[in-house]
Amino acid sequence: MRILLVASAFNSLTQRVHAELRERGHRLGVELALGNDLLRARVAQFEPDLILAPMLTTAIPEDIWTAHTVLIVHPGPKGDRGPSSLDWAIHEDAPEWGVTVLQAVAEMDAGPIWASEPFPVRTCGKSELYRNEVADAAVRAVLLAVERFESGDFTPEPLDYDREDVRGQLRPYHAQEFRRIDWAADSTETVLRKLRAADSQPGVLDELFGKRYFLHGGHREDELRGAPGTLIATRDGAVCRATTDGAVWLPQLRPARTPGGPVVFKRPATDVLGPDLLAGVPEVPVSPTAAATRDTWSELRYREENGVGYLEFAFASGAMSTDQCRRLLAAYRQACERPVDVLVLGPARDFFSNGIHLNVIEAADDAAEESWRNITAMDDLVEAILTTTDKVVISALAGNAAAGGVMLALAADEVWCRESAILNPHYRLMGLYGSEYWTYTLPKRVGQDTADRLTRETLPVGARAAGAIGLVDRVVSGSPAEFWASVRGAAEELAAAPELTERLVQKKQRRAEDEANKPLSAYRAEELAQMRQNFFGADEPYHQLRRNFVHKVCPQATPAHLLA
Ligand code: COA
């Protein structure tokens, strides 16, 4: 079928639906919802059999939904309506929620139902839930709805609140009044729920040192205590704030915008507050090994099980600043000292990595210099992985990765990927040539032609398609927990295999041959020469593209790479 995806942004769920439907042989078009006339023109030109909206915040005009079947993905169970479904689900501590595919009609979210799928509400931020459990349920519901539409004999179910399985309701916008934290009264559990319901957007509006900030993220602290509402510690850019019965970590802040003031965006909390306000608040570090046994906030955790080392990293939004790259490199070097032959890298859930930290760069006094420092730190990390010859290193991708984050994964010997992950192995949309030794690792894996195509087309690649072209080695279905159970089993098997010693000998040999053929330093120098031009050259698009990305500037039209 010819299916036109209409979306407010080509976000991860839209990319996932795109990859899944393309894989099933449908002809896909994408149109960003940037105006009714643009949409009308695109519908007339594409002549879709079906219009599908995986993530839409505006209404489809009546002349389109009367002439075509338009299916809307709504992140709520049957009967749920309104713009803040997931916020309410988390706020009210719902154990289970749903995704419903409905037909567009005049009234928002009130059309006949084509499919509805439940999912468990994990204890995590709203965006993380969206990219994982919601996305998985949405794909199941979309595939079922598309199949039903294609069959031609399915009658969608009218929304009927008298039905027993229609348990949702119309709810208002989840405004800041519902999110407000009362630090003198709210328990840690309540504070965390409010933070999770607002993460990553819009954050919880609050006050610190007499100024208004949006709080982003939120993690329990198991040991530190203090007077409710006070800041009691900092760690790796985050601040810890005491509650009535414990404390929570706040990794990122966004200053509230003042009328006429500059546009602001979120950044590590200690960067936003600055050293003067934080004078007297102690930095309380935790080692990756200690963090693995505690219920505290840490971007790094290290543990060993049955001969396998696991270095877990979890960076908000998958973005890795210069400092974060350096800390991960230090933890990686420590892990390399351990007597294990197999080392697994990757977060428990969500983004593996999205490359250099564009927000931190945007906020720097000299963005070009900070871009340079960040890419250099990233390259140092990748180089350390590439030159590890006494261990088998596995990248485990429970979630999505993009740009330098994909190339970071490729530095390992093997890349294992959850079936739901979406990879964007390209840099061009950010105006960058790219580094992270991608000119060495990508063609080695997929061949030069495919590497050229992937970086030229700049389209997302689903995990199964990535497996088929050799971009990843193993694709595992199921939830993030099931993925990790499978990763642990396979890694332990690898660690116990008699062939491991021989495999490490061969690894060392291959690296030496590759080095003799063309040293890693040459790849690095060539890539960085191009990146230097991107960062420091005149008329380079990178700085404007980064600014647009960080400030979430809406494009004027659907980007050309999505129109093909
Ligand atoms: N630096 C800073 N923030 C980043 C980031 C980066 N490299 N990559 C993603 N983010 C942030 C987004 O701003 C967004 O923030 P929000 O939750 O406050 O809105 C969040 O991460 C999720 O990203 P979003 O774009 O909403 O998610 P998505 O899953 O729909 O799309 C990507 C993911 C990776 C395709 C898209 O974010 C992207 O293109 N990122 C930039 C990749 C890049 O060019 N990196 C630099 C070169 S190495």
What digits encode the pLDDT tens for the residues 369-417? 999 999 999 999 999 999 999 999 999 999 999 999 999 999 999 999 9
What digits encode the pLDDT tens for the residues 448-503? 999 999 999 999 999 999 999 999 999 999 999 999 999 999 999 999 999 999 99
Ligand 1 pocket test: which of 127, 199, 317, 551 has the largest number of ligand atoms within 8 Å of its C-beta? 317
Q: Does residue 88 carry a pLDDT above 80? A: yes
Phi-psi region of 303 (alpha: psi -120 to 50; beta: other; left: phi over 0): beta
What one-character-per-residue DSSP string does 152-196 give?
Answer: S---PBPP-TTSTT----B-----HHHH---TTT--HHHHHHHHH
Ligand 1 in reach of 403 Cβ (< 6 A): yes
Question: What's the distance, CA 19 to chain centroid?
Answer: 16
Q: Which residues contact 522 (CB under 8 A, 6 or more apart)?
A: none
Ligand 1 in reach of 85 Cβ (< 6 A): no
Task: Tell me if 305 sits within 8 A of 270, measured CB to CB.
Answer: no
Q: How sure is the predictor about 145, in pLDDT bands with cuts at 50, 70 and 90?
A: very high
CA of 464 to the centre of ligand 1 (A): 22
Q: What is the pLDDT of residue 73?
A: 98
Ligand 1 in reach of 424 Cβ (< 6 A): yes
CA of 354 to the centre of ligand 1 (A): 6
Q: What is the DSSP letter of 214?
A: E
Ligand 1 in reach of 359 Cβ (< 6 A): yes
Ligand 1 in reach of 320 Cβ (< 6 A): no
C-alpha separations of 431 from 44, 232, 403, 538, 549 in Å: 32, 41, 11, 13, 12
Ligand 1 in reach of 459 Cβ (< 6 A): no
Ligand 1 in reach of 252 Cβ (< 6 A): no
Ligand 1 pocket test: which of 16, 378, 549, 550 has the largest number of ligand atoms within 8 Å of its C-beta? 549
* Beta-sheet strands, E only, within 8-165: 27-32, 50-53, 70-74, 96-103, 113-120
Q: What is the pLDDT of residue 259?
A: 87
Ligand 1 in reach of 374 Cβ (< 6 A): no
Ligand 1 atom nearest the C-alpha of 424 is 35
Nearest protein CA to atom 44 of ligand 1, as residue = 430
Ligand 1 in reach of 201 Cβ (< 6 A): yes
Ligand 1 in reach of 458 Cβ (< 6 A): no
Ligand 1 in reach of 289 Cβ (< 6 A): no
Q: Is 504 exposed, middle or buried (0-12, 13-18, 19+ CB in 10 A)?
A: middle
Q: What is the pLDDT of residue 564?
A: 67
Ligand 1 in reach of 421 Cβ (< 6 A): no
Q: What is the pLDDT of residue 331?
A: 98
Between CA 38 and CA 555 the distance in angstroms is 13
Q: Does residue 255 carry a pLDDT above 90? A: yes
Q: What is the pLDDT of residue 557?
A: 92
C-alpha separations of 369 from 185, 205, 273, 340 in Å: 45, 32, 22, 38
Q: Does residue 258 carry a pLDDT above 90? A: no
Ligand 1 in reach of 432 Cβ (< 6 A): yes
Ligand 1 in reach of 355 Cβ (< 6 A): yes
Q: What is the pLDDT of residue 429?
A: 97
CA of 94 to the centre of ligand 1 (A): 28
Ligand 1 in reach of 319 Cβ (< 6 A): yes
Ligand 1 pocket test: which of 354, 410, 433 has the largest number of ligand atoms within 8 Å of its C-beta? 354
Q: What is the pLDDT of residue 358?
A: 98
Q: What is the pLDDT of residue 261?
A: 85
> Mean pLDDT score of the chain, rounded to an integer?
97
Task: Tell me if 271 sits within 8 A of 250, measured CB to CB.
Answer: no
Q: Does residue 546 carry a pLDDT above 90? A: yes
Mean of the pLDDT values across residues 442-448?
A: 98
CA of 459 to the centre of ligand 1 (A): 15
Residue 63 has, within 13 A of its CA and on its CB side, a CA count of 7
CA of 404 to the centre of ligand 1 (A): 12
Report yes or no on whether pTM surpasses 0.85: yes
Nearest protein CA to atom 18 of ligand 1, as residue = 200
Nearest protein CA to atom 43 of ligand 1, as residue = 403
Q: Does residue 46 carry a pLDDT above 70? A: yes
Question: Phi then psi for 233, rounded to 5 degrees?
Answer: -165, 160
Percent of the chain with pLDDT over 70: 100
Mean of the pLDDT values across residues 148-160?
A: 97
Query: How many DSSP H helices and E strands does the chain contain?
Result: 21, 23
- Tell how strand 204-208 and strand 211-216 pair up: antiparallel
Question: Amino acid identity of 516?
Answer: A
Q: Which residues contact 80 (CB under 8 A, 6 or more apart)?
A: 74, 98, 100, 109, 168, 169, 171
Between CA 274 and CA 255 the distance in angstroms is 12
Task: Tell me if 205 sits within 8 A of 134, measured CB to CB.
Answer: no
Ligand 1 in reach of 461 Cβ (< 6 A): no
Ligand 1 in reach of 437 Cβ (< 6 A): no
What digits encode the pLDDT tens for the residues 275-318? 999 999 999 999 999 999 999 999 999 999 999 999 999 999 99
Mean of the pLDDT values across residues 219-236?
A: 98
